[in-house]
Structure formats: structure tokens, C-alpha cells
């Protein structure tokens, strides 16, 4: 067996979507290089979980990855194997491309942190990782599948919703602009749904104070008996995303917010509030469409796929590079002084 190990100096606590995307990067390179991915634990940030970090492998807890067809081993199970590998059979690299035909038993990327999307030189890996991940980068139905526990709890909620159903996910924390925020007020949402035949709506948001006062609208607060044992906000998020994905109609905030999990029923059911990507949305001034936007997401194996993120040019590129440089400097300062 040949292995691919991303060894990081530090771990950054971020959201589940961010860390899922990073994991897809590792799995994509392992798949392309025909190696076994050594999966590390990631830190899901306390800012999303009532002040508590969660260190986790993520797989088989928040999602399954069997459909990817990538071989893997958990880092804790690899430690003894690593001790048996001769130093001459290890290729130590950083962010550069390596020969996928290398006969080295272990390729180890020595990285500053676990923000794997910063490996910008690995173009083929980035392309495949986007297809694996979907959300935010491709019009794609992801191959990430739901765990049995999440499906069981989500199905309990779905079975209590009167059909036809609408699932609504409103992203009201980051990536907002003033016009988008106003488009999510209670009256506007209800008016937009007038064009649909429905009896109940399950809505969820990262804004804990958001509420729709209509007897047909339900949130996780209406299912406390089902969710009373769920203390992990990331797990709650996954349950909510499963419910939204599996309602008769699914409505999300941005047009690149594809389903969180793989779904069989793909056509004529996905809509968004805005007609643009989540990327850069906080600085947009574009009007929000008066009607919901139809979103047709592709299968993973479709020959031609649409991509959301277009290359930046001119002033937007300059501003993006300045922001990236500032964020990198801020990160290094914090870790240098252990802030």
C-alpha cells in the first residue's frame, strides 16, 4: 500500500463546510495518485458550537464518503504503520506537485496549517475536490452521503411535516449584504412561496433569533422531543440540511448552495433566493430577484458541468490579493504570539 499524509503544524477551527472541503482536497489527491489517504482529525470551531471546539475525523459522524471510492485510513491507525516505513521510502514535500507514479511508500506533505485549499498549485486536485464537495464551487450533486443516525432523525422530522413540503435554509451570518438580508424578512419569504403548492415549511438558519410566525412554518424548535439529545451544533446543522435536501421543494440562500448530501430526486425541486454565488456576496449591491431562482444541479459524472467561480481580473483581483495577504499576516501574527 502507498500512502498520502498531510502533516500540519497547526489546526484552524472553522465551520463544518470549510473542513469538509479541506478533507475533499486530501481525498481527491489520494484518488488521483492511487494512494491511501491518511485522514487527520480536524477542529470544528467553537464560534459555531456554543464556545466548544470539536476535534473529529468527521466521516461516519457528519457524513459518509463511500461513494467517492477513495481509500483511507484514520491517522491514529496509521501511526504504527508509519514507524515501519524506511526513511528512503518517504517523499517529504510542501505545496508542490509530485509525480503520481512515484514508488515512494509514503508521500508526506508538511504544511503550516490544515487550510488545504491554499494548495493553489495542484490544479487537477482542486478540480476533483470541487466535484466531490459541490457546495459553493460547482453546480453539482455531491457524492457525500448521509449517515444512518442523521437520516433516522431527519426522517422523523420529515414524517411529521404535512406534504407537500418546502425546506428552507437561510444563511444569515456571514456572506450577507443589506439587500439580501431584507429579502429574507418574514413577509417577503411567505410572499415568494405563494407560487408553490405546500402545506408545511421546515426552515433553518444560523441566526438563532430568526423566526417566521406562520402556522405552516416549522424550525428545529418545534421538534425538541426528537432533537433533545443533540448537543452538537454541527450535528444539528447536518440534520437540518438533510431535512431541507429531502423536502419536496428545497430553497437555499445562494445559487451555488447545492444539496448538502447526495440525493436521488434532483430535478424541478431546487431553488435559491439570490441569483449569485456565496463568494463575494457580502460586498454585492445587486437587486435580489422578486421570485425564487430555479437551480438545476448536475450529476457528478456529467460530461459538461458549470462552475460558479470565475477568474478575477483588474481591481477585484487586486482587492482579493490584498485581503488574502492581510488574512495570512493576521493568522501568522496570532500563532506567533499564541493569541
* Model pTM score: 0.85
User: Positive or negative CA dihedral for 217, 220, 225, 227?
Assistant: positive
| pLDDT of amino acid 327 | 43
pLDDT digit of tens for each residue in the chain (339 aa)?
A: 999 999 999 999 999 999 999 999 999 999 999 999 999 999 999 999 999 999 999 999 999 999 999 999 999 999 999 999 999 999 999 999 999 999 999 999 999 999 998 898 998 998 899 888 877 665 678 889 999 999 999 999 999 999 999 999 998 766 667 788 788 889 999 999 998 999 999 999 988 888 999 999 999 999 999 999 999 999 999 999 999 999 999 999 888 788 999 988 667 799 999 887 776 676 676 788 889 999 887 665 544 444 433 444 556 556 555 644 544 444 345 444 444
Q: Supply φ then ψ for residue 72, to 5 degrees.
A: -150, 165
| pLDDT of amino acid 324 | 46
Contact 201, 216 (CB under 8 A): yes
Report the alpha-carbon distance of residue 299 to residue 263 in Å, rounded: 10
Contact 175, 318 (CB under 8 A): no
| pLDDT of amino acid 300 | 54
Q: Supply φ then ψ for residue 292, to 5 degrees.
A: -65, 150
Decide: helix, strand or coil at residue 283. helix
Report the alpha-carbon distance of residue 144 to residue 23 in Å, rounded: 11
Amino acid at each position: 500500500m502507498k500512502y498520502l499524509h498531510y502533516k500540519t503544524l497547526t489546526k484552524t477551527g472553522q465551520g463544518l463546510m470549510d473542513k469538509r472541503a479541506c478533507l475533499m482536497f486530501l481525498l481527491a489527491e489520494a484518488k488521483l495518485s492511487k494512494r491511501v489517504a491518511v485522514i487527520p482529525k480536524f477542529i470544528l470551531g467553537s464560534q459555531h458550537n456554543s464556545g466548544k471546539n470539536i476535534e473529529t475525523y468527521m466521516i461516519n459522524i457528519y457524513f459518509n464518503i463511500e461513494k467517492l471510492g477513495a481509500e483511507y485510513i484514520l491517522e491514529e491507525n496509521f501511526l504504527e504503520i508509519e514507524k515501519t516505513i524506511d526513511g528512503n521510502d518517504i517523499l517529504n514535500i510542501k505545496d508542490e506537485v509530485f509525480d503520481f507514479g512515484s514508488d515512494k511508500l509514503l508521500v508526506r506533505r508538511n504544511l503550516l496549517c490544515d487550510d488545504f485549499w491554499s494548495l493553489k498549485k495542484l490544479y487537477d486536485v482542486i478540480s476533483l475536490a470541487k466535484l466531490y464537495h459541490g457546495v459553493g464551487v460547482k453546480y453539482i450533486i455531491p457524492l457525500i452521503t448521509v449517515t444512518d443516525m442523521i437520516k433516522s432523525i431527519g426522517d422523523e422530522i420529515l414524517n411529521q411535516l404535512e406534504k407537500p413540503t418546502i425546506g428552507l435554509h437561510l444563511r444569515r451570518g456571514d456572506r450577507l449584504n443589506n439587500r439580501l438580508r431584507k429579502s429574507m424578512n418574514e413577509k417577503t419569504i411567505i410572499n415568494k412561496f405563494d407560487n408553490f403548492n405546500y402545506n408545511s415549511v421546515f426552515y433553518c438558519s444560523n441566526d438563532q433569533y430568526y423566526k417566521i410566525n406562520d402556522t405552516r412554518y416549522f424550525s428545529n424548535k418545534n421538534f425538541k422531543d426528537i432533537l433533545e439529545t443533540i448537543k452538537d451544533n454541527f450535528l444539528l446543522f447536518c440534520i437540518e440540511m438533510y431535512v431541507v435536501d429531502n423536502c419536496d421543494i428545497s430553497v437555499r440562500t445562494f445559487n451555488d448552495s447545492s444539496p448538502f448530501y447526495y440525493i436521488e430526486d434532483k430535478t424541478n425541486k431546487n431553488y435559491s433566493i439570490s441569483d449569485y454565488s456565496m463568494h463575494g456576496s457580502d460586498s454585492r449591491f445587486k437587486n435580489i430577484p422578486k421570485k425564487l431562482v430555479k437551480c438545476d444541479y448536475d450529476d457528478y459524472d456529467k460530461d459538461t458541468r458549470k462552475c460558479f467561480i470565475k477568474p478575477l481580473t483588474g481591481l477585484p483581483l487586486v482587492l482579493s490579493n490584498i485581503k488574502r495577504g492581510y488574512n495570512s499576516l493576521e493568522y501568522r501574527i496570532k500563532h506567533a504570539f499564541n493569541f
